[in-house]
C-alpha cells in the first residue's frame, strides 16, 4: 500500500523560511564584502597614484617676481630640522605694527613672498619668510617626501618658525603676538599651526583647501578614466570615498615618512581669531568650493574674498 504523503508541518516551513532568510542575508553581505574588496583593491593603487604623483599645475616661482631683501638666518623646526629663513623689516621703523610669518606654497621657496608680502611691509609690518623642509635651502629627512598635502612635518616647520620669531621679539622687548600668511599648502599649514599656537592672532589663507575634500573631488574627476565599469566609480555616497581617502593616507604615510593632518579638524578645534580666506575664481586645480567649505567650518570672526581676476 502506497505511503500516505504528509505535507510538512508549519514548524518545518518556518524553519526553512528562517534559514533561507538567513542565507539570503549572508549571501548579500558576502556579495557586498566582495564588491568592496574588488573596489578598494583594484582601484586603491590608482587612487594612491592620484594622491602621491598628481602635481599641481605649473606655478610662477620666485624668479618671476622681484625678490625682497632681508637678513637670512638658520633656525630649527620643532623636530630639529635645519631651516632657512629671512627677516624683512619694514623700512619705516616708527610705523611698526607687528610681525607676520609667511608660509610659501608647495614647490616654491621663501622668496615667493615677493609676490604677496610687499604691501604688508609698506604698511608697517615686518615679515619673516622661510623655506619648508625639502624646499629651497632648508634641510630635509632621508625618508621624507614632500607633497602638496599638509602634514605633521610642515606643521613642525611652521611652529619652529613661530618659536624662533617669538624668541627674537622677546629679545627685542616686543609683543610676541604674530600674524601668519599662507599660500595653498602653506595656508593649510598655517591653519594647523594656529590651532595649537595661541600667539598667532590673525590668519590670511590664500588658496587653502581640505585634503579630504580635494582628494574626493580628484577621485570623482578622474576615476572614470581608469574604471571600465560605471558602477565602480559612480553612485557612491561620500562616506565610501572618505573610507578610500582614509586608506590612501594609511598606505601613503609610511611610504612618504610623514603623517597627513586634517585642516578641517584644526578649524573645528581652533579658538576664535580673525581669518581671511582668499581664493581665485580662475584656479583650475583647487576649486573655489574648497575654500568655501573651510570658511563655513571656521569660527568667527572670518572673512571670504573671492578674486575674479
Closest CA to 67 of 122, 116, 114: 114
Give the C-alpha separation, 304 to 6, whole Å: 79
pLDDT bracket for residue 309 (50, 70, 90):
low
pLDDT value of residue 1: 47
Mean pLDDT of 225-247: 66
Q: Check pLDDT > 70 for residue 63.
A: no
Mean pLDDT of 75-99: 93
What value does the mean pLDDT of the chain take? 84
Pick the range with the lowest mean pLDDT from 4-8, 96-100, 143-147. 4-8
CATH superfamily name and code, 63-210+262-307: Alpha/Beta hydrolase fold, catalytic domain (3.40.50.1820)
pLDDT value of residue 90: 93
Q: Check pLDDT > 70 for residue 273.
A: yes
**Count of beta carbons in the 10 Å neighbourhood of residue 154:** 29
The domain ranges of the chain are 10-54+214-252, 63-210+262-307
Pick the range with the lowest mean pLDDT from 41-50, 89-98, 247-256, 269-278. 41-50
Pick the range with the lowest mean pLDDT from 146-150, 217-221, 248-252, 267-271. 217-221
Q: Check pLDDT > 60 for residue 94.
A: yes
Contact 183, 158 (CB under 8 A): no
Contact 132, 138 (CB under 8 A): yes
pLDDT bracket for residue 194 (50, 70, 90):
very high
Pairing of strands 82-88, 71-76: antiparallel
pLDDT value of residue 132: 97
Q: What is the pTM of this model?
A: 0.82
pLDDT bracket for residue 7 (50, 70, 90):
low
Give the C-alpha separation, 208 to 206, whole Å: 6
Beta strands in 19-137 (DSSP E): 71-76, 82-88, 98-103, 125-130
Mean pLDDT of 169-189: 95
pLDDT in tens, 195-222: 999 999 999 999 999 988 888 887 777 6
pLDDT value of residue 54: 66
pLDDT bracket for residue 170 (50, 70, 90):
very high
Q: Check pLDDT > 80 for residue 237.
A: no
Mean pLDDT of 150-178: 96
Amino acid at each position: 500500500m502506497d505511503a500516505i504523503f504528509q505535507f510538512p508541518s508549519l514548524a518545518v516551513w518556518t524553519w526553512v523560511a528562517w534559514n533561507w532568510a538567513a542565507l539570503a542575508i549572508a549571501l548579500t553581505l558576502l556579495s557586498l564584502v566582495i564588491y568592496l574588496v574588488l573596489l578598494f583593491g583594484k582601484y586603491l593603487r590608482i587612487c594612491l597614484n592620484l594622491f602621491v604623483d598628481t602635481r599641481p599645475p605649473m606655478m610662477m616661482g620666485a624668479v618671476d617676481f622681484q625678490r625682497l631683501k632681508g637678513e637670512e638666518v638658520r633656525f630649527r623646526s620643532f623636530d630639529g630640522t635645519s631651516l632657512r629663513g629671512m627677516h624683512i623689516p619694514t623700512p619705516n621703523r616708527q610705523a611698526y605694527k607687528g610681525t607676520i610669518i609667511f608660509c610659501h606654497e608647495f614647490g616654491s621657496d621663501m622668496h615667493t613672498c615677493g609676490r604677496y608680502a610687499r604691501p604688508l611691509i609698506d604698511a608697517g609690518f615686518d615679515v619673516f619668510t622661510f623655506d619648508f623642509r625639502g624646499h629651497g635651502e632648508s634641510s630635509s629627512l632621508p625618508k621624507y617626501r614632500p607633497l602638496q598635502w599638509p602634514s605633521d612635518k610642515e606643521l613642525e616647520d611652521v611652529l619652529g618658525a613661530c618659536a624662533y620669531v617669538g624668541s627674537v621679539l622677546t629679545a627685542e622687548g616686543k609683543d610676541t603676538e604674530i600674524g601668519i600668511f599662507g599660500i595653498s599648502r602653506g595656508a593649510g599649514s598655517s591653519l594647523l599651526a594656529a590651532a595649537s599656537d595661541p600667539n598667532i592672532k590673525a590668519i590670511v589663507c590664500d588658496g587653502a583647501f581640505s585634503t579630504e575634500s580635494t582628494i574626493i573631488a580628484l577621485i570623482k574627476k578622474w576615476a572614470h578614466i581608469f574604471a571600465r565599469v560605471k558602477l565602480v566609480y559612480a553612485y557612491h555616497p561620500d562616506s565610501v570615498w572618505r573610507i578610500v581617502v582614509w586608506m590612501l593616507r594609511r598606505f601613503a604615510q609610511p611610504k612618504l615618512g610623514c603623517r597627513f593632518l586634517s585642516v578641517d579638524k584644526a578649524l573645528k578645534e581652533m579658538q576664535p581669531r580673525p581669518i581671511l580666506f582668499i581664493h581665485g575664481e580662475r584656479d583650475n586645480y583647487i576649486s573655489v568650493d574648497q575654500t568655501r567649505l573651510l570658511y563655513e567650518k571656521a569660527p568667527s570672526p572670518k572673512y571670504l574674498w573671492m578674486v575674479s581676476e
